[in-house]
Amino acid sequence: MADSLRRLVNIGTFTVLQDKLEKWLSDYYINTCDQNVARGCEIIELNAKVQGQLFKLLSVCASDGGMYGGANIIKSRLLPWLGQNFFTSGGSVTADTSLSVLAEASAKDREINDLQDMYERSMDDLERDLESMKTENQDLRDELQETRLELNSNVRCLSGDRDYLDTENRDLKRKLADAQDEIAKLRVRAGLVDDYERKMRNLRDELSLSYGKRDYNLSDSMTSYRYTSRITTPLAIDDPVQRVRQQNLVARFNDMFAQDRLDALDTLRRYSDDHENNQRIIYSAISEAFSTAKLAFRQFKMKVRANLAKTHYGPETLEEAVQDYINRNSDLYDLPGMVSDVIRALNRNPKIFLPPDATFAIVQPFIREACKLAWQMSALAHPLDIAASTDAELFDDNKYRRSYDSEYTAPLVNHHIWPCLMQGIKTLVKGEALTRRGASLTSSGRRSRSPTRSRSPSRALSPSFRSRSVSPLRRSRSPSPRRCLSPLGRRSPTGDIVTNHSRRYTYTYKCTSR
């Protein structure tokens, strides 16, 4: 029953019948009589087919109720219709009323169908809109997630940049404070130098006046002049300029060890983790700065002497005039050229190295200060110089102190950390060295043949150089006769005499057994 009813509904016969009636109505006055009759017959046939299907459904429904199922409904509603030939359903209902009822039902069905179609279309539109809104919401969620991730990454980057900038600001503030303190110290020292120079000029003026008052006796005046000039000569060791400048330069040398050296080591530590190599770079830099400054000062002094010799006259000697000119013009030197020479010398040094992405110009501020200090020390009447040194030399307590990480029982120097400041053979400030057992002599051999080192007149004071020049008999009179060291810093395993044959020299050592 249900399948037959579903099939009848799916066919939509009443809809087709209604469409045919509407089309017949619209074409009624156009069609001929035969066409209108044919249309009416067609609609009747279709209606008869539909009625046949409905009667089948009616019989099936009645059979479901048994022998008497649906009999009352058939008697009360269907038999009056059959008796009246389908045009009456009772005494009060006419054929027109029946048709109007059918028309109203059909109109209501059509209206319901239209509403249902409209509802379904609206539902489809709403579903499509909902899907589009869901898609847009998902896109917005994805964009929001991406924006959140980007914001988090930017916040992390900004936090890192802020921390880095804060660290740099603190370092710069610290360096600025140190520079201001250094400027204050230098101003104080400059004031002291100016006071001493002013006092020196006043003393010279007073001496000149005293010379004028005592010019009645030529011989006494000349004697007094020689005596006074000998006391106030700029070449004297107790000259005020020499004394004051030497004191300031020694203090500056100590400041470079305490502050500038540590700043340079901090700079090198950013590029190289080898602490020993960094110490060698600092020591080589200050050593090359002194060698370059001494060479440049000798050339400068020769030019000054040559120029003053042409026009010099007066009671003072030529050397005194040259030193007086140097004292008054101690800043006439090519500092950038000396810095470049030192950097080139460091590049030629085989004992030090830096990563490929770094050059020795990273310690240029330290080299610049070292060159300035070396030039001013060389410009003194009695110049200050650093002691010549080589690796694997015997440790000298009078010139150096051991570093904190040294082996205090080791007799040989592994490498030097800071040079010893000397005036002639007198030690003014001790240097610092690292002593270690098994220190190698190979690097010092290469270093001794360096042209800048060979120019230093104080090289003859090196303990390693003295050990090469003494005879075997004098070598045997060393303070510790029980111990014999080979050129490589180890105990000689066999024999009393150890000979080392290098490319240019042969060293012979006399060893005594226990």
The reply to whether 239 falls in a domain is no
What's the mean pLDDT when you consider all of the chain? 76
Average pLDDT over residues 238-259: 92
Q: Check pLDDT > 60 for residue 487.
A: no
Residue 432: is its pLDDT beyond 50? yes
Single residue among 93, 124, 151 that ends a domain in this structure: 93
Residue 374 falls inside a structural domain: no
The predicted structure's pLDDT at residue 1: 59
Q: What CA–CA distances, in Å, run from 487 to 41, 85, 134, 445, 490? A: 138, 146, 87, 11, 7
For residues 315-331, give the mean pLDDT: 89
The answer to whether residue 46 is domain-embedded is yes
Name the percent of the chain lying above pLDDT 70: 69
In a domain, 61, yes or no: yes
- E strands, 59-115, where? none
Instruction: Please answer whether residues 408 and 402 qualify as being in contact, where contact means their C-beta atoms are separated by less than 8 angstroms.
Output: yes
Q: Is residue 282 part of a domain?
A: no
Q: What is the mean pLDDT of residues 355-374?
A: 94
The structure tokens listed for 335 are 């500092």
Question: Tell me, what's the pLDDT at 234?
Answer: 86
Least confident among 63-72, 117-126, 174-183, 185-194: 63-72
Residue 162 in any domain: the answer is no
Pick the range with the lowest mean pLDDT from 74-88, 192-206, 300-314, 364-378. 74-88
* pLDDT recorded at residue 455: 35
Which of 66, 93, 120 is the C-terminal boundary of a domain?
93
Confidence (pLDDT) at 437: 86
Q: What share of the chain is helix, strand, coil (3-state, %, to 5)?
A: 65, 5, 25
Query: Predicted confidence band at 108 (pLDDT cuts at 50, 70, 90)?
Result: confident
Judged by phi (left if over 0) then psi (alpha if -120 to 50, else beta), residue 12 lies in left
Q: Residue 276 contacts by C-beta under 8 Å, 6 or more apart in sequence?
A: 415, 434
Q: How many domains does the chain have?
A: 2
Q: Please state the rounded mean pLDDT for residues 113-127.
A: 89
Q: Which residues contact 51 (CB under 8 A, 6 or more apart)?
A: none
490 falls within a domain: no
Confidence of residue 161 (pLDDT cuts 50, 70, 90): confident
pLDDT at 227 over 50: no
pLDDT tier at 415, thresholds 50, 70, 90: very high
Task: Report which of residues 389 and 206 the model is more confident about.
Answer: 389
Residue type, 16: V
Domain range enclosing 221:
179-232
Q: According to the model, what pLDDT value does residue 28 have?
A: 84
User: Mean pLDDT over residues 349-362, rounded?
Assistant: 93
Q: Tell me whether strands 431-435 and 400-402 are parallel, antiparallel or unpaired.
A: parallel
pLDDT score of 481: 34
| Domain boundary, last residue among 77, 93, 109 | 93
Is the Cβ–Cβ distance between 244 and 200 less than 8 Å?
A: no
Q: Which of 16-25, 91-100, 155-164, 500-509 has the lowest mean pLDDT?
A: 500-509
The reply to whether 120 falls in a domain is no
Q: Where are the alpha helices (DSSP H) in 274-415?
A: 275-311, 318-328, 335-348, 364-378
Q: What is the DSSP string of 60-71?
A: HHHHHT-SSTTH
Residue of 391, 434, 410, 388 lying closest to 485 (CA atoms) = 410
